[in-house]
Structure 1
Amino acid sequence: MANRVRGDIQGLRAVAVLTVIAAHAGIPGLTGGYVGVDVFFVVSGYLISRLLFAEVERTGRLSLAGFWARRARRILPAATLVTVVTLAASLVYLSLVDARQVVTDAGWATAFAANLHFAADGVDYFAQDQGPSPLQHYWSLSVEEQFYLVWPLLLAAVVLTARGERRRTPLPRRDLAVVLAVATVASFTWSVVQTGSDPVAAYFSTLTRAWELGLGALTALVAPRLVRALSPRALALLTGAGLAAIAVACLTFTTATPFPGSAAALPVVGTALVLLAGAGRHEPTPNRWLGLQPLRTVGDWSYSLYLWHWPVLVLAERHLGRSLTGLETASALLATFALAGATYTFVETPFRTGRPARVLTVPRAVALYPACVALVAVACTGSWWWTEWRGGELGHDPAVTVGEYGAPPGADRTVALVRASVLAARDHRPVPSDLTPDVLSLRDSVADVGDCDYTDFPDTRDLCPRGNPDGERTLVVTGDSHARAWIPAFEEIARHDGWKAYYLVKPQCTAARVTVGDLEEGKPWADCDEFHDWVLQQVADLDPDLVVVASSPPVNGVWVDGNHLLEEGAVSRVLTAGYDELFDRLTDLAPHVALIRDVPKSPEDPATCLTTGDPDLGDCLFRPLDRSRTLGAVPVRRARAHGVEVTDPTRWLCWDGSCPIVVGSTITYRDVDHLTTEYAATLAEPLGRDLGLWSR
């Protein structure tokens, strides 16, 4: 099997990395540039398999240790360098909470399981507002390495099985073709199925991406013989068609395109055609163009470019708290190329062909992985310790008290403490040293729903009586994640007065009888529509004494007659009708229905303002976003029109138009619009009294 150096492959790598970088940098016209990752998968499957096949043909065997040693020298040094530098940069440019999350991400990335980790994060609604991890792009590296853990073993098994047969070559081509074809078709089929049912998991899954590497391997297997039957003109047409397929995907695909699924076939097959066409003795002209020196240089740097571009862009954006300007983006890209060039020259090349490569013989190269793990572990431990120290209860700054600022006449103690906290923030008082919850665990302050987590609805349809399970009166709380945030308060209320409570809450599923846009793709969310119907059926069956509705406006707009509406006025009109229908139905099913107005929304994540730089309380004082106030008023108007009782919690969160993130010494929000479980619990009595549930 010919193993000549092919400049067109380096050019193809350049195309792949440049399209990925362009898409991530927001360069207009390349919304589908993310398919460059798929191009990489096919190229990688082709090159690695070509080397493996050549080894079997040459020696009659396959050295697994040798293969993994080569992978270690190729992948680990640069990946480890970028991981460690990103950890250090996160301590400088991110909040302590976010920097701590990067420590966790680094561990998954180093274990080559980042795709599993980020798939789990992708379906976590409560992680949606945190922004992407600067190490998120390691998911593709994890997919590759998981594939290369299994593929050489499978190849070795096929070779050993066929060894007893009389063959002209030790490489069992026919057997391998069958195995690769079956595996590739199976993986592609699963990719189509899972993309339709669980697109986030499908995007990161090795099982849905394996066919892309498998097609590259199959191309490497059949190319030497297949290209002999094709004329130079036919080979040129193959390259042209392949490049056109990649270009169409880059130019027409968007983030709304279901992916990978069947859509991935366009860039993947296109890449395979380019690789196939260039495998013959006569290189077609388009392939020679791909081998031009500038593209070959970028192709040489492609691995380092891919590693560096994402953390550079993400850290810059998250540090500034906004999208980058054109000049800032250009500066970030220049920094990316400078870092990539240096990494290729001083890290990649020495470990492949220089003195480190000569020193790291097979046994030593295999030991390179535990050495890199140890290095990242030291960096992670140092980062974790630093965040623990900086985010710890340093100093003796006291909590805000009513006594310092006095209470207005007639105000209850909760309102008085909110007022005092606003005045303290306006005075730029230091943040209290002893915060509740601990600021470093703020992300974890999510109300417990036990076994009845309707995030998984329709798979989960159980009913879980809470509060006092033996209570004679029944309470139902329904809505989205904002209703869930009130659960700690209702648990206290239910236990205090002997109510049996049911929490029929589903994150992102607005309570109004409207069709909302799915958070990931924006398409109509059928599961939410079904949940609405299911909730009404449960209310009818439970015959509760009280139903409480709490909900935020739809996160990703609403759908009406096939139209996706995002504009505030249009959404408001649809919500009006949706709440009218909801309250009509609920008031027929329960003797007492109440609405908790949605909480004010902050423009900034509290973890950012509380753990960046040297903040005081004034840095975390905010005015509610106008859109949340406007849309939050819609259910209030419709509730009052239907005679539904309304409780407005704004007075427990804001005073004089300003909202403090810290009230007394308790952090009010876990993110921009969800109450912490700790603060919600402190509101049990005022909320209970407002709803007429709290007896003396």
Structure 2
Amino acid sequence: MRTPTRAPAPDWDATQQLPVVKRTATLPRGGSPHYYRPELDGLRAVAVLLVAAYHIWLGRISGGVDVFLLLTGFLITASLLRMAERDRKIHLGVYFGRLSSRLIPTAATVLLASLLITMFIVPMTRWKSSVGEILASALYFQNWKLAISSTDYLQQDQPASVVQHFWSLSIQGQFYVVWALLLIGVFALAARDMRRMRLLAGTAFGLIFAVSLAYSIYGTANNQVWTYFDTGARMWEFALGALFALFIGSISLPRQARLVLGWVGLLALVSCGMLVPDSTMFPGYIALWPTAAALLVIIAGTTHYQYGVDRFLTWAPIATLGTLGYGIFLWHWPLFIAFREISGEQTAGLFDGLGIIALSIILAYITKKAFDDGLRSLIPKRTVAQARWGLVIGISFIVPVLAVSLTWTQAIALDEQPMARITSADPEDIGTHPGALALRYPDSAAEIGQVPITPSPMAVRDDLPKMYEDDCHVGIDGDRARICEYGSDTPDVTLAVVGASRSAHWFPAIEARAEANNWRVLTITKSACLFTTGTSTYQGNTYHDCMAWRDDVVSILKDIQPDLVVTSSTRTESDQEYVPSGYIERWEELDELGLTVFGIRDTPIVDNDVVDCVARGDSCVYDTSHIPAEDPMIDNGRVPDNVIAADFTPYICPEQQCYAVIGNVLVYRDSRHISATYAATLAAMMEEQLLAALATLETD
């Protein structure tokens, strides 16, 4: 599973006029002066350093991003309430103009830099997905794009992109819109009465907090990967900050108590990433840990103690880092990804990591000086001008990102060459792209020469069996079987291809010879759903849809009575291959129904970067001597008599060596699945074994 990464910092308050918690932790009300709280800059610094450190050195979640979301809710709510109190209205133009001029220039600069990193460092096989994510980040829906791709079984081997961290900036962008409209609605319902508005707003924030937190807990338990990126599962963190923006003024604690609370909060925040045993617990109830820790620091406020946490957080180096936090977050991730691509390491060493953080700070300082302290200072202070010029600045920075991304996307589409389907079994006519036939007829293959491989590394991830294109394959969601029919209209034989994606990837080899042999081929497949018994799991959760789908498939097979049920017979993990007991139990069930199983041995697993390796022009050969040379089905005493074993491993990994390219055809489309083009070149060998299996049925 692709591990979700952390989010960018909040907008650092569009007004830069933050209320300060005075000695009694009481916020000024109404028209009282606005104060700056330097300890919040320090809190941001701690959060962003935690995020960067955990990304660069540990590869796990720190809880720092949850602090960013809480602070965003706290500061934006305070800002909008002050605007409503001061002007008796909320100026949407000013609000979005300030946000636009503050957030977009730096973000757009990082996105343009990410395009350059993608072009010159990231393998071309990932250009399409990377540019798509950059485009999604520019349009503030990166979180939804990642939610879809992270739960898409076919995309889970994809490495993290240079802009994966923009998912949280997208959530914040959506929050800015929703929250402003919500408060405008509340203000209207309150008839512009601020006391009534606070009451209505508090009620709304409380409901959002409760519903969103409940959804987050439920979603994390049942579909953590999707929930992680889901805006609805994160709204409670914003709402919690908003509630404190409303009511922190009523909190009055002694200085001694606030001294203790401040340090407890900071220590709890720093320890969160170290003590939470599993990152997949986020963003459910466990996210209350870092958010509550941050709230303790906010409540502590200014203690005026020499050893108060506020003295540490307002220390000039820490506070300065906090003012650069937005830029540090945005820059550190693409720099880290560039390091990973160049070095081949997934985490950095001490000095490499410090170098990444130092460079992030330098770039953050440059962009802050150029945009926050430079460009924005030129905007007139008049309300209308602020709105107009803020939006103009934001749009002028984001348009180049959109233009380059869209142009590059079109260029990539033109480069994706058509995929050939090679099915000839004639040893005298194997063509220039024989694929597996090069192993079957080595003498003829010796004369084919070097030609561009097919499919291209750019296109191979989309080289799927036809049932995907025809919407016949059931994805992760869906508990009912979907049947599609291929081959002869007047068949003598019916074959049913059943199982998960590693059963489905044999389909092109079967379909290629179906018409010639008068076969009808039925496909009944589902992602990540092995045709087994017992409890199925997916990404750590019980896979209820799969279990219901399997039961449906058995009922269908009972009614159809195919001549052969074609499915996987073994299971290959990273360091072993075996016949799962659940497979055997399922075959015994089919035996009672009078059905025969054509069990195909699973394909060996190669490295995740197999396609990238080909794109680099490297020699891509993977040793599989750690798994049995012989099919584990052979001489397995538990396998029932209704199962016929088939093994095509010699045509994929001859002599326990897996080649990324055979016969000028790319073998693997990812680490676990063969390409549809290569599968089609196995047609002759598949035909032989199927005919032999069918012949045994006639003699029984």
In the alignment, which residue of structure 2 is the partner of 1:73? 101
Q: Verify: 1:584 aligned to 2:588, yes or no.
A: yes
Q: Structure 2 CA distance, aligned partners of 1:386 and 1:419?
A: 39
Written as runs of structure 1 = structure 2, the 5 A alignment for 1:450-469 is 450-456=470-476, 458-468=478-488
> 1:94 Cα deviation (Å)?
1.4
Q: Which one of 80, 84, 107 corresponds to residue 52 of structure 1?
A: 80
Written as runs of structure 1 = structure 2, the 5 A alignment for 1:70-149 is 70-149=98-177
Written as runs of structure 1 = structure 2, the 5 A alignment for 1:614-625 is 615=617, 619-625=618-624
> Does the C-alpha gap of structure 1 residues 268 and 691 become closer, same or farther in structure 2, counting only changes over 3 Å?
same
Written as runs of structure 1 = structure 2, the 5 A alignment for 1:17-28 is 17-27=48-58
> Which amino acid in structure 1 is aligned with residue 562 of structure 2?
P
> Does the C-alpha gap of structure 1 residues 59 and 405 become closer, same or farther in structure 2, counting only changes over 3 Å?
closer
**Counterpart secondary structure, 1:507:** coil
In the alignment, which residue of structure 2 is the partner of 1:336? 360
Q: Structure 1 CA distance, aligned partners of 2:459 and 2:380?
A: 43
> 1:385 Cα deviation (Å)?
6.7
> 1:131 Cα deviation (Å)?
0.7
> 1:213 Cα deviation (Å)?
0.8
Q: Is the 8 Å Cα contact of residues 604 and 672 (structure 2) preserved in structure 1? A: yes
Q: Is the 8 Å Cα contact of residues 624 and 658 (structure 2) preserved in structure 1? A: no
Q: Is the 8 Å Cα contact of residues 502 and 602 (structure 2) preserved in structure 1? A: yes
Q: Is the 8 Å Cα contact of residues 239 and 277 (structure 1) preserved in structure 2? A: yes
> In the TM superposition, what whole-angstrom CA distance separates every residue of 1:169-196 from its partner, at most 9, and x where no partner exists?
5772112111211222222122122222
Q: Is the 8 Å Cα contact of residues 510 and 551 (structure 1) preserved in structure 2? A: no
> 1:544 Cα deviation (Å)?
2.1
Aligned residues: 649
**Counterpart secondary structure, 1:88:** helix
> 1:282 Cα deviation (Å)?
9.6
Q: Which one of 175, 181, 198 corresponds to residue 206 of structure 2?
A: 181
> Which amino acid in structure 2 is aligned with residue 67 of structure 1?
Y
Q: Structure 2 CA distance, aligned partners of 1:262 and 1:313?
A: 30
Written as runs of structure 1 = structure 2, the 5 A alignment for 1:541-580 is 541-550=559-568, 553=571, 568=575, 572=578, 575=579, 577-580=581-584
Q: Is the 8 Å Cα contact of residues 97 and 390 (structure 2) preserved in structure 1? A: yes
In the alignment, which residue of structure 1 is the partner of 2:223? 198
List runs of 5+ in structure 1 lacking aligned partners: 394-400, 556-565
Q: Structure 2 CA distance, aligned partners of 1:264 and 1:156?
A: 29
> Does the C-alpha gap of structure 1 residues 350 and 179 become closer, same or farther in structure 2, counting only changes over 3 Å?
same
Which stretch has the larger CA shift, 577-586 or 306-315? 577-586
Q: Structure 1 CA distance, aligned partners of 2:279 and 2:206?
A: 30
> In the TM superposition, what whole-angstrom CA distance separates every residue of 1:407-439 from its partner, at most 9, and x where no partner exists?
9xxx99553456876x799xxx75x23x43343
> In the TM superposition, what whole-angstrom CA distance separates every residue of 1:74-97 from its partner, at most 9, and x where no partner exists?
110111011111111111111112
Q: Verify: 1:602 aligned to 2:606, yes or no.
A: yes
**Counterpart secondary structure, 1:130:** coil
Which stretch has the larger CA shift, 47-56 or 539-548? 539-548
In the alignment, which residue of structure 1 is the partner of 2:636? 638
> 1:341 Cα deviation (Å)?
2.9
> Does the C-alpha gap of structure 1 residues 277 and 475 become closer, same or farther in structure 2, counting only changes over 3 Å?
same
Q: Structure 2 CA distance, aligned partners of 1:609 and 1:325?
A: 22
> Does the C-alpha gap of structure 1 residues 176 and 51 become closer, same or farther in structure 2, counting only changes over 3 Å?
same
Q: Verify: 1:222 aligned to 2:247, yes or no.
A: yes
Q: Structure 1 CA distance, aligned partners of 2:290 and 2:489?
A: 56
In the alignment, which residue of structure 1 is the partner of 2:282? 259
**Counterpart secondary structure, 1:623:** strand
> 1:134 Cα deviation (Å)?
1.3
In the alignment, which residue of structure 1 is the partner of 2:236? 211
Q: Structure 1 CA distance, aligned partners of 2:630 and 2:301?
A: 60
> 1:296 Cα deviation (Å)?
0.8
Q: Structure 2 CA distance, aligned partners of 1:493 and 1:155?
A: 65
Q: Structure 2 CA distance, aligned partners of 1:121 and 1:418?
A: 40
> Does the C-alpha gap of structure 1 residues 126 and 348 become closer, same or farther in structure 2, counting only changes over 3 Å?
farther
Q: Is the 8 Å Cα contact of residues 567 and 598 (structure 2) preserved in structure 1? A: yes
Which stretch has the larger CA shift, 470-479 or 272-281? 272-281
Structure 1 or 2: more helix by fraction: 1
RMSD: 3.6
TM-score using structure 2 length: 0.83
Q: Is the 8 Å Cα contact of residues 57 and 170 (structure 1) preserved in structure 2? A: no
> Which amino acid in structure 1 is aligned with residue 525 of structure 2?
V
Which stretch has the larger CA shift, 599-608 or 366-375? 599-608
> Does the C-alpha gap of structure 1 residues 356 and 256 become closer, same or farther in structure 2, counting only changes over 3 Å?
same
Q: Is the 8 Å Cα contact of residues 332 and 360 (structure 2) preserved in structure 1? A: yes
> In the TM superposition, what whole-angstrom CA distance separates every residue of 1:292-349 from its partner, at most 9, and x where no partner exists?
2222122111111111111122232234444245144343333333322333333343
> In the TM superposition, what whole-angstrom CA distance separates every residue of 1:59-108 from its partner, at most 9, and x where no partner exists?
21111100101101111011101111111111111111212321111111
Q: Verify: 1:272 aligned to 2:295, yes or no.
A: yes
Q: Is the 8 Å Cα contact of residues 545 and 590 (structure 1) preserved in structure 2? A: no
Q: Structure 1 CA distance, aligned partners of 2:372 and 2:569?
A: 52
> Does the C-alpha gap of structure 1 residues 216 and 587 become closer, same or farther in structure 2, counting only changes over 3 Å?
same
Q: Is the 8 Å Cα contact of residues 438 and 662 (structure 2) preserved in structure 1? A: no
> In the TM superposition, what whole-angstrom CA distance separates every residue of 1:214-265 from its partner, at most 9, and x where no partner exists?
11111111112x22x3222333343344334424432222445422122222
Q: Structure 2 CA distance, aligned partners of 1:161 and 1:89?
A: 49
In the alignment, which residue of structure 2 is the partner of 1:446? 464
> 1:582 Cα deviation (Å)?
3.8
Which stretch has the larger CA shift, 654-663 or 304-313? 654-663
> Which amino acid in structure 2 is aligned with residue 600 of structure 1?
P
Q: Structure 2 CA distance, aligned partners of 1:59 and 1:281?
A: 34
Q: Structure 2 CA distance, aligned partners of 1:441 and 1:402?
A: 28
> Does the C-alpha gap of structure 1 residues 162 and 640 become closer, same or farther in structure 2, counting only changes over 3 Å?
closer
> Does the C-alpha gap of structure 1 residues 160 and 345 become closer, same or farther in structure 2, counting only changes over 3 Å?
same
Q: Structure 2 CA distance, aligned partners of 1:60 and 1:232?
A: 35
Q: Which one of 308, 331, 346 corresponds to residue 370 of structure 2?
A: 346
**Counterpart secondary structure, 1:235:** helix
**Counterpart secondary structure, 1:500:** strand
Q: Structure 1 CA distance, aligned partners of 2:38 and 2:631?
A: 62
In the alignment, which residue of structure 2 is the partner of 1:160? 188
Which stretch has the larger CA shift, 309-318 or 656-665? 656-665
Which stretch has the larger CA shift, 454-463 or 544-553? 454-463
> In the TM superposition, what whole-angstrom CA distance separates every residue of 1:549-579 from its partner, at most 9, and x where no partner exists?
2266366xxxxxxxxxx9x57x85xx45344
> Does the C-alpha gap of structure 1 residues 590 and 3 become closer, same or farther in structure 2, counting only changes over 3 Å?
farther
Which stretch has the larger CA shift, 597-606 or 100-109? 597-606
Q: Which one of 482, 485, 504 corresponds to residue 484 of structure 1?
A: 504
TM-score using structure 1 length: 0.83
Written as runs of structure 1 = structure 2, the 5 A alignment for 1:292-691 is 292-326=315-349, 327-352=351-376, 354-355=377-378, 361-381=386-406, 383-384=408-409, 413-416=437-440, 432-433=451-452, 435-447=453-465, 448-449=467-468, 450-456=470-476, 458-468=478-488, 471=491, 473-511=493-531, 513=533, 518=538, 520-521=539-540, 525=543, 527-528=545-546, 531-550=549-568, 553=571, 568=575, 572=578, 575=579, 577-603=581-607, 605-612=609-616, 615=617, 619-627=618-626, 629-630=627-628, 633-636=631-634, 638=636, 642-643=640-641, 644-655=643-654, 657-691=656-690
List runs of 5+ in structure 2 lacking aligned partners: 1-28, 419-425, 696-700
> Does the C-alpha gap of structure 1 residues 481 and 202 become closer, same or farther in structure 2, counting only changes over 3 Å?
same
> 1:197 Cα deviation (Å)?
2.6
Q: Is the 8 Å Cα contact of residues 157 and 608 (structure 2) preserved in structure 1? A: no
Which stretch has the larger CA shift, 191-200 or 53-62? 191-200
> 1:403 Cα deviation (Å)?
8.2
Q: Is the 8 Å Cα contact of residues 96 and 391 (structure 1) preserved in structure 2? A: no
> Does the C-alpha gap of structure 1 residues 370 and 119 become closer, same or farther in structure 2, counting only changes over 3 Å?
same
> Which amino acid in structure 2 is aligned with residue 439 of structure 1?
P
